[in-house]
Amino acid sequence: MMKTSRAVIVTCLLTLAALNCVSAIEEINSIKDLKRIYSNKSLPMHSLTLLHWFANNVDIGTNNVVRLSFNPNRDFGSHRYCNYERLLPSAPQGYQFYTVGNVNQPPGDIDRKFPEYVLYPRVRESRGTGRNRDRIIVSVQAQTVSQVYLTQHFRQEDNRGSEYDRDHTFNISTNLLQQLRQFSFNDNTQSLQELRDQFDQHITDNQLNDLINISGRDQAPLELLYLIVVPQRINLVEVCRPNRRWA
């Protein structure tokens, strides 16, 4: 009887440990959190571009309900994710996990018929560089999203196959998606100044003007997001000023 009780206790402890391991996924709730994550973790800019792309390819209702604007079974190379390695907490009943972000997926009919359904060039530029590791995983039921995660595959040299790296997996809040949507592509200089003032007042007017001149007004919101989240890129803007011979 005592052996049985011990076995039950051990089983319960192991179950609790597994549940804690699955649930211990850090949430990114704001751009301020993004800055902290990028300063503490080794994350490629590709993952930030992927997040920006996702935030601007979903619909968010007034009640903060997130809905996909694309087919997770097909568009952008997205497909089912079964969570076999228990990377994530179980999806709510009736929801299924899908993953998106693989730039090596061959173009489908949706790409040819609707070019606007192709991932950003900046997302796809990782093709062939060995950096095609970042993914977004969502739990979806009838286009309604209940959970959003940013993750990445292990490196090839880690010999972990197609597993995802738990240490680089984050829960993405609706609030962060709303903030990222403020950086949608546009040519409104005034809105860029307002975003700078809201999220990073250390970026000077000269740096903002250099950014616009280098990237173009319509692409500047994404470049501004880069500068806010990864301030070290300001040095790159300084180097690439248009009035320099080798810009």
The secondary structure element, H or E, covering residue 157 is none
With residues binned 3-state (H G I as helix, E B as strand, rest as coil), the percentages for the chain, rounded to 5, are: 45, 15, 40
Which DSSP helix (H) or strand (E) runs through 194? Answer: helix 189-199
pTM more than 0.85: no
Cα end-to-end distance, the chain, whole Å? 78
**Taking the mean position of all CA atoms in its chain, how far away is CA 6?**
44
**Residue-by-residue pLDDT tens, the chain, 247 positions:** 445 555 545 445 544 444 444 558 999 999 999 999 998 887 888 889 899 999 999 999 989 999 999 899 988 878 999 999 899 999 999 999 999 988 765 545 444 444 444 666 655 554 444 577 899 999 999 999 999 999 998 877 777 778 899 999 999 999 999 999 999 988 777 799 999 999 998 899 998 998 888 888 888 999 899 999 988 766 555 555 555 433 3
Give strand ranges (E) for 84-212. Answer: 96-100, 134-141, 144-152, 170-172
* CA geometry: angle 17, 9, 14, nearest 5 deg: 20
Residue 158 confidence (pLDDT): 76
Q: Whats the size of the chain, residue-wise?
A: 247
Phi, psi of 126 (to 5 degrees): -80, -5
Residue 82 CA, distance from chain mean position: 19
